[in-house]
Amino acid sequence: MASQSSSVIFPRVIIIGGGFGGIQLAKNLKNKEVQVLMLDRHNYHTFQPLLYQVATGGLEADSIAFPLRKIFKGQNNFTFRNACVLSVIPERKAIETNIGEFYYDYLVIATGSDSNFFGSKELEHYTMPMKTIPEALNLRSMILQNLEESLIETDPVKKAALLNFVVTGGGPTGVELAGSLAELKRHVLRQDYPELNMDAMNIYLIEGSPVVLGPMSPQSQRSSREFLEEMGVKIMTDMRVSHYDGNKIVLSDGNEIVTKNVLWSAGVKGEVPGGIPLDKIARGNRIKIDEYNLVIGYTDIFAIGDVASMSTTDYPNGHPGVAPVAIQQGQLLAKNLIRIINKEPPVPFKYKDKGSMATIGRNKAVVDIGKIRFQGVFAWFVWMFVHLMSLVGFRNKLVVFVNWVWSYFSYDRGTRLIIRPFNRKSMTEDTQTK
């Protein structure tokens, strides 16, 4: 399966990761005089911005995933291998994987990010992250199983723990997840669980900074907070999680909340493969790169997207970990690789910020585009349109659109299924095999 780069006609470009950046790079290398080999531990691309809807029963997992091989159907210079990358060996221009070694002429690390628990093994074990489809399905099962268990629980403290939901992190993921839970409580669970007092279900959003949606405009921050509070979410800013033992969460001010449901979205870190020296790693466990996406100190290893840290005047700590950055870097790197192969000077990367947006719930969203800010119903439709068009595959666009229309008019969600019962051991195994 593996072959030396000297045995091929064209240079081999290996891309680790089938996320937004990796896909864009591979697409833009179509019909170029290179061999493209993509490695990923999954055989599908995940549309991560909608993972929270899978976790809260709004969508099925297969509507936000798309087979990587199908994306590149007909691209003759593309090959895919389903593999876990164990280590990069720069001195041999090789990659060690669970299915053997592969050799490259140019390597692109596009592995994205993973949940950051800031070194706390306790939080890593007991909280529920949501960065992959298996994690989203675990979260959905946990939510539904705890609701079912609350129906038969007679101890008031244990019952409260089953009905208290704590979302950590007030970024777009945390805000959207908290809003989705509030919508679920308001429109769906009251019908599904008529014997349960839904007023006893509490949703908390904990954020370490003074505001939610910190990267967005003050206007969007205020509006999103007002929307969430109107929906019954209890927002606690300037607050951090100190401890959580699976039953009780302790906050930085000493307050405690009994809960079996802590949903972790408080931070991310780059998912760096083994073999990258520590002196190449920047803040947030991201790989240091120059303005051409070249890993500092190398001439044939590049990094793009969430895993890469390009320090510029506008972004001294690296660009934001959002899909447009990865897509734009993938597009430019494809051009630069061909320029480098042809002995031409590469073009430096310049991020074009097209804006930020977040949805809070039905007819509630906030959008920042340049100096334009708007909120409410129109922002919500803009958010839906942008995300719908960004999905990979016509079928997925159609399925998600139909689901959204159905949910809008029926006030219902059709995927409240416990298909894979959640247990802590299975979640740990999922994490170890990622």
Which residues are part of the catalytic machinery? 176
Whether the Cβ atoms of residue 189 and residue 147 lie closer than 8 Å to each other: yes
Q: For 254, left (φ over 0), alpha (ψ -120 to 50), or beta?
A: left
Give the tokens for residue 91: 């001195």
> What proportions of the chain, in percent to the nearest 5, are helix, strand and coil?
40, 25, 35
Give the tokens for residue 305: 């997207």
Q: For 93, left (φ over 0), alpha (ψ -120 to 50), or beta?
A: left
Give the tokens for residue 66: 């798309």
Q: How many residues does the chain have?
A: 434
Amino acid at 94: A
First to last CA, the chain: 22
Q: Rounded to an integer, what distance in angstroms lies between the CA atom of residue 26 and that of residue 125?
A: 36
What is the maximum alpha-carbon separation in the chain? 73
Alpha helices in 251-393 (DSSP H): 323-341, 377-390
SS3 297: coil
What stretches of 85-214 adopt beta strand conformation (E)?
85-89, 94-97, 100-103, 106-109, 113-115, 164-168, 202-206
Q: Checking DSSP bridges between strand 308-310 and strand 85-89, what pairing results, if any?
A: unpaired
CA 178 to chain centre: 16
SS3 96: strand
Q: Which residues contact 352 (CB under 8 A, 6 or more apart)?
A: 324, 328
Q: Rounded to an integer, what distance in angstroms lies between the CA atom of residue 300 and that of residue 340?
A: 10
Q: Rounded to an integer, what distance in angstroms lies between the CA atom of residue 322 and that of residue 308?
A: 12
Considering only CA atoms, which of 259, 263, 331, 378 is closest in space to residue 24?
Answer: 331
Q: Rounded to an integer, what distance in angstroms lies between the CA atom of residue 386 and that of residue 365?
A: 13
